[in-house]
Amino acid sequence: MSSPGGLAQQSASLLTMALDPAFAGRVYPPTEPYEVSREKIREFAAALGDDNPLYRDPEAARELGYPDVIAPPTFPIVMTLRAAEAVVADPELGLDYTKVVHGEQSFSYSRPIQAGDLLQVVVSIDSVRSIGGSDMLVTRGDVTTLDGEHVVTASSMLVARASEQVR
């Protein structure tokens, strides 16, 4: 029979934290260029159920000073989610994606994404910390034109629940 202190130590040793805070600051290579088209914007807006004419009608967009239709504010997820695969697949990081839930998402714009943009994403890890037995991983995806013009930064927090080792 184990002592009460022994059970606590044994239980604590069953929890393992896979993520090392030293990964904060890691930057991944830029993605391949992503061409934003009217049709991709229209399809995304339709999936959201948003019939805003700025997302569908080039004339409506031009009336407000845009060169073409613009994308809904959450459209960058199309590119940044794909770019974040580099983080998830990084074998050195050791993230168990089966234990991940999406904690937060935010976008900070310099200008709207518009049809005709050719964009790339550079993903970096902003922070890694442990709270309450889970790891919190904050990533940042900087979306720019191929000429380096900043368009939007997407920040995302992933929560990786602690793994339990099977005895």
Q: What is the pLDDT of residue 13?
A: 36
How far apart are the C-alpha atoms of 25 and 87, rounded to whole Å? 12
Whether the Cβ atoms of residue 73 and residue 49 lie closer than 8 Å to each other? no
Tell me the whole-structure pTM to 2 decimals: 0.82
How far apart are the C-alpha atoms of 5 and 50, rounded to whole Å? 58
Please list the rounded mean pLDDT of every run of 10 residues in the chain (167 residues). 41 51 92 98 97 97 97 97 89 82 92 98 94 89 98 94 59
Domains annotated on the chain, with CATH: 14-36+82-164 (3.10.129.10)
Task: Give percent helix, percent strand, percent coil of the chain, each to the nearest 5.
Answer: 30, 35, 35
Q: What is the pLDDT of residue 36?
A: 98
Residues pairing with 15 in the sheet? 164
* Tokens 């380096």 belong to residue: 148
Q: What is the pLDDT of residue 164?
A: 60
Q: What is the pLDDT of residue 163?
A: 63
